[in-house]
Amino acid sequence: MVRGNWKTVARRAISATALLATGALSACEAPPLVEAGAGRAAVADSAMVVSASPRASRVGASILQMGGNAVDAAVATAFALAVTYPTAGNIGGGGLMLARINGETVALDFREVAPGAATRDMYLDVSGNPTDKSVTGALAVGVPGTVAGLYAAHEKYGILPWRAVVQPAMELAEYGFVADSAFVEDLADNVPRFSPSTKAVYAPYGVPIDTGKRFVNPELAQTLRLIAEQGAKGFYEGETAKKIVGEMQRGGGIISLEDLRNYRAKWRTPVEFRYRGYAVLTMPPVSSGGLTFGLIANVLGGYDLAAMGFHSADAIHVMAEAERLAYQRRNTLLADPDFVPVPEASFLSPDTAAALRARISLRRHAATDVAPDPVRGRHTTHFSVVDGKGNAVSLTTTLNTGFGSAVTVSGAGFLLNNEMDDFTVKPGALNQMGLRQGEANAIAPGKRMLSSMTPTIVLDSAGAPYLVVGAAGGARIITAVAQLVSATVDFKLSLADAMNAPRFHAQDYPDRIELAAGGFADSTVRALKAKGHMVEMATDPWAFGWAQAIMRAGGRWHGVSEPRGHGLAAGF
């Protein structure tokens, strides 16, 4: 079999017929890509894709080169991530998309849902204590939403043929790609968790493929071929659906053919608020991120952060206190709006922000309970896209923790999520992300679990995209996005400087501020401790979210991939 290199594969993906039908450019007419690795800015005039996987970024950018729009590129990038970044990229998980298309902002919820046989206390033992069955194994799996979401987005806004945006990923799986060290290390760290079906794909001899060797996944290629040919039905019905249910039955899971057939992605109304004159558009519930970020921003709007100084003790203190108070409301009030009333207006009310500001002392931290350390895992991935017409997509997709449930669908080549752990397994108990959530987020059949994903688009005074941003990192997504918006808006940092700046994190539990080790002055740390903060210097690169962002500056697009990762910004 002729393998070729992946660029050739990606460009072969769109047939001459499809190109003629859409009026797209031929490969030979396509402008060359401008690329920048992790932490560096790629600067381009027309379009940009930024993701955690260089191959996925290039696939998305090649779709733009060939005349696709931002949604076409986003769909192609998402499918490519399922092949090249299996720790979080997926077709067996879910996600959230915010898009600015032709001057309209839309939000698409393709979060996983609880199976029809799910029960409120299904993860408690006989003593009423949580077990690990919500984290590893087939019982941890929620009904996947990714394929339905990508299909719905493309059906409404895509301009290239569906097959054209799926085929690059299909051919990456079929012809393979050279495994780099990041790909191999991700696998090696998780092999002990892998089910036999996952080991068969990713570690057939008990260890991952060697760095520099070509990785192929023919079973995933066949699954993607069915999706390319049949649309979402190629996943939720027929051969693939039967394989998913077979995996459930072998492993003690409860997803049924009916659950798969009934899954629907949902269009929702974006959350919108203003911050320092900018319009901020972000994701509504079932995301907790949009409303929590909005509350943080509204609290911070009452302070002159710029006068305090970037990364000063006062600025960090105020931001951390706002984050803690917002997370308290998040954890008790937010859930799937189709099941419980969500007080969206209250979250974004100036009165709520003023009431929380009144609880913040500039001199002293108000202590909360101490709780065990949460997991900091590679559990989600985000990417950002802009096209030549100013359309933008901010999309976050997830399996939950790294490699999800660690279960691969036998014969289909893709991993399944462990999103059921994002429900409240037991009110007041901590989940894997260190979140102590309430009764509103309890398990129920057909319900979506609360998420921290925060895909966000910031508009300038003319209503054009200024910043397209989001992050991976579980509960740390919200603070990462909030700090990046503040860095560029309050402190006027360039995108590269904002992305490379050390970050910090605070939530309601545990009662501490985590600072990036080596990133803050000793005097700042001492001042925070003097205000009563417990300070931890964190060395884990996943402690502060992994962001992917694009910003408009000087009439050009600046794209930067998370400096702690191995991603790529690619544009032209």
Catalytic residue at 292?
no
Residues 549, 465 contacting (CB under 8 angstroms):
no
Residue 350 CB partners (closer than 8 Å, separation 6+): 298
Which is it for strands 48-51 and 513-516: parallel, antiparallel or unpaired? unpaired
Structure tokens at 39: 């932490």
Structure tokens at 366: 């108000």
**Tokens read off for 211:** 């760095």
Transcribe 337-379 into DSSP letters.
Answer: TTTS---HHHHT-HHHHHHHHTT--SS--------PPPP----
Nearest one of 337, 272, 393, 271 to 111, comparing CA atoms: 337
Q: Which of 22, 380, 401, 424 is flagged as catalytic?
A: 380
Give the helix ranges, DSSP H, for 231-268.
233-236, 238-251, 257-262
Which residues 6+ apart lie within 8 Å of 3 measured at CB? 175, 176, 214
- Gap between the Cα atoms of 72 and 91, Å rounded: 17
- Cα(154)–Cα(232) distance, integer angstroms: 11
CA separation for the pair 313, 527 (Å, rounded): 6
Q: Decide: 326 and 289 in contact? Cβ < 8 Å.
A: no
Order of strands, edge to edge, in the sheet holding 546-553?
A: 41-44, 556-561, 546-553, 465-472, 456-459, 278-282, 271-275
- In 3D, which of 479, 476, 458, 478 has the Cα closest to residue 468? 458
Q: How far is CA 98 from CA 107, 360, 456, 470, in A?
A: 5, 32, 7, 10
CB 522 within 8 A of CB 454: no
Cα–Cα nearest to 501, from 319, 379, 292:
319
Query: Quick one: which of 568, 472, 561, 548 has its CA closest to 54?
Result: 568
DSSP codes joined into one string, 165-229? HHHHHHHHHHH-EE--HHHHHHHHHHGGG--HHHHHHH-TTSSPPPTTSEE--HHHHHHHHHHHH
Query: How far apart are the C-alpha atoms of 336 and 354, rounded to whole Å?
Result: 27
Longest dimension (CA), the chain: 68
**Among 557, 536, 243, 522, CA closest to 385:** 557
Tell me the catalytic residues.
Answer: 380
